[in-house]
Chain A
Amino acid sequence: MAKRKTKRQLLVDTAILAPIDWLDERTAVVGGTKYFLFRHVPRDVSWAQTLGFATLMAFMAQTLTGAILAMYYEPSAAINPETGKPVAYSSIEMITNELTLGWLVRGMHRWGASVFIILLFLHMGRVFLFGAYKYPRELTWITGVLLLATGMLMGFTGYLLPWDQTAYWATVVGINLNGTAPFAGPWLAQFLASGPEIGTSTLARFYALHMLLLPGAIFALIGIHIYLVTRLGVTSPPWSREAAGRERAEVQPAGGRAGLVRRGTDGGAK
């Protein structure tokens, strides 16, 4: 028989442990978290392998600042009768100049986009340098390339939203550029512009892509990506002397001594 519990233990049991048990019984969340947190990674994992997480962090920050911006931004090219300027442009002015800390949120989102793109390339560069795309991590790499492409599309669609001259003319070029492609090109240009002129309907289309469709795709891809990374493990720097999975000299050549073996096996040992 168990000892009688103190009041405090009883409180912990009912307020904390019981709900966790309840949840775990149905979702296995405790096992999952343990699996994620208490797995081992190679001993020589270091700063280079933080770039993926840094990219994730940049994306999270974009999601948060983007959600705040979406509460105040209005995607319309119609003229606001009060300001005499397009509605979208006026809402951006309002966010920047009037909203408390609006400039910070907008600034972080605007520059965070560049930080995100740079981190994507750096992370990809380190994966390439480490040869970490090879067996069995091919799918991790493929989801990564898709993330890179969707990330760049986020940049393209977001650029139009302030509806200023820079935004407008860069998008005109971008859409015309799509129009040069054979077969699907003209259709794609039509779809993006969604009309003969670049206007409110274009803006609405870019906004929907930028804050619903593409982020949704990125979330899904990140989910797969991180699952695969957790399941397969992160690679060691390939030049590391204690790299996980390094080759060992299995068989000693006949008559060889330890000293000779090391020279003879072509760098395979250590």
Chain B
Amino acid sequence: MGRDLGERNREAYARYKDDVRKEGKPFFPRAILHDTIMAFVVVAVMIALAVIWYWDAGDTPEGEGLEAGVLGPLYTLPADAGTTDFIPRPAWYFCFLFYLLRIFEWPETVFIATVGIPTIALVLLLGLPFYDRRLERRPSRRPVAMIAAVLTVLSMGVLTYKGATAQEALGSELLKLVPDWAEEQGFTGDEQANEGARLFAVSGCLNCHIYLGSGTGSLGAPDLSDVGDRYEPQALVRYLTNPAEFGNTVMGSYAYLGQENLEKLATFLDASTGDK
């Protein structure tokens, strides 16, 4: 048809208005009845979830409500910046992001996962009515849109599932690796370095870093197996006290560990000179 899109759009909408006026049904009470039933269902589901969550959670010796039921515990232990044996778990609807971080683990690509993909997704969503301008609304005549939608749903589903079920090593499990590390790096006899290694295992460093094949390697944190080649011990203490000084805004300060512990950590890191 030769007529321009704007004109055809306006015609179609005028036809819509006309049809609704002539053949439509009144919003009240016909359509609002469906809405009201739906509203009750929503509230009922919320109540049901709350009841299952509350009644299925149990008590542990450490306190009421700490034992998880099917919908999880009522709360976990109080927040403690010093604990090391806790695995971060985001709300399920952020799990996809969590997993993207694992995929883009190399430092230069992290921001693709954290900012790039979400930003592109948002822009694509916002712009949708402006690049998909055809009049056609029937799904059977919109193959590209439908395929894109199916692919999006599938990949979001897979990422969410993988993120929600991803396993991470607990500090207590990593502790068992310390003797192997000591042997490989040759600091078996150095008690200071060994203590540093144990601190390293339980301080959550491996939630970001990799050390001799252990750890996750996310958020662009480098492999620390040979970090001793790159820094002097005193610089390492400074690094851990204030990572921002070294241009690292991702890693938090570990000053709370105390000067003595930081020196142990630094001794351990300094002794880490590579896996060969």
Q: Give 1 or 0 for each of A121-142: 1 = CB within 8 Å of chain B CB.
A: 0000100111111111110011
Stretch binding the partner chain, chosen from A12-20, A40-48, A218-226: A40-48
Tell whether A54 pairs with B90 under 8 Å between CB atoms, given A115-B49, A180-B114. Answer: no
Q: Are A145 and B24 in contact (CB under 8 A)?
A: no
Q: Are A166 and B65 in contact (CB under 8 A)?
A: no
Q: Are A107 and B49 in contact (CB under 8 A)?
A: yes
Interface size on A, residues (CB 8 A): 97
User: Number of contact residues on B: which range applies?
Assistant: 35 or more
Q: Are A54 and B38 in contact (CB under 8 A)?
A: yes
Q: Is A204 an interface residue (CB 8 A)?
A: no
- Name the interface residues of A94-116: CB closer than 8 Å to any CB of B: 96-97, 103-104, 106-108, 110-115
- Name the interface residues of A216-270: CB closer than 8 Å to any CB of B: 233, 235, 238-239, 242-247
- Name the interface residues of A6-53: CB closer than 8 Å to any CB of B: 36-43, 45-47, 49-51, 53
Q: A125 to chain B: which residues have CB within 8 Å?
A: 149, 153
Q: Are A40 and B24 in contact (CB under 8 A)?
A: yes
B130 and chain A: residue at smallest CB distance:
A138
Q: Is A77 an interface residue (CB 8 A)?
A: yes
Q: Give 1 or 0 for each of B54-83: 1 = CB within 8 Å of chain A CB.
A: 100000000111000001001111111101
Q: Is A209 an interface residue (CB 8 A)?
A: no
Q: Is A66 an interface residue (CB 8 A)?
A: no
Q: Are B250 and A180 in contact (CB under 8 A)?
A: yes
Q: Are A135 and B13 in contact (CB under 8 A)?
A: yes
Tell whether A110 pairs with B53 under 8 Å between CB atoms, given A45-B31, A85-B78, A159-B90. Answer: yes
Q: Is B213 an interface residue (CB 8 A)?
A: no
Q: Give 1 or 0 for each of A188-216: 1 = CB within 8 Å of chain B CB.
A: 01100000111000000000000000000
Q: Are B114 and A177 in contact (CB under 8 A)?
A: yes
**When chains A and B are docked, how far (Å) is the Cα of A179 from the Cα of B244?**
11
Closest chain A CB from B78 CB (angstroms): 4
Among A61, A93, A117, A135, chain B packs the most CB atoms within 10 A around the CB of A135
A187 and chain B: residue at smallest CB distance:
B249
Q: Is B3 an interface residue (CB 8 A)?
A: no
- The answer, among A42, A45, A128, A179, for a CB contact under 8 Å with B149, is A128
**When chains A and B are docked, how far (Å) is the Cα of A242 from the Cα of B22?**
12
Tell whether A61 pairs with B79 under 8 Å between CB atoms, given A43-B23, A189-B249. Answer: no
**When chains A and B are docked, how far (Å) is the Cα of A150 from the Cα of B68?**
30
- The answer, among A38, A110, A242, for a CB contact under 8 Å with B26, is A38
Closest chain B CB from A240 CB (angstroms): 10
- The answer, among A57, A113, A131, A176, for a CB contact under 8 Å with B252, is A176
Q: Are A186 and B19 in contact (CB under 8 A)?
A: no
Q: A189 to chain B: which residues have CB within 8 Å?
A: 249-250
Closest chain A CB from B261 CB (angstroms): 17
- Residues of chain A touching chain B, judged by Cβ–Cβ distance below 8 Å, are 36-43, 45-47, 49-51, 53-54, 57-58, 61, 77, 85-86, 89, 92-93, 96-97, 103-104, 106-108, 110-115, 117, 119, 125, 128-138, 141-142, 145, 148-149, 152, 155-156, 159, 162-170, 172-174, 176-182, 185-186, 189-190, 196-198, 233, 235, 238-239, 242-247
> Can you sample 13 A-B contacts with CB below 8 Å?
A36-B27, A40-B26, A96-B75, A108-B46, A108-B47, A110-B50, A111-B46, A114-B93, A165-B80, A177-B219, A180-B114, A182-B115, A246-B15
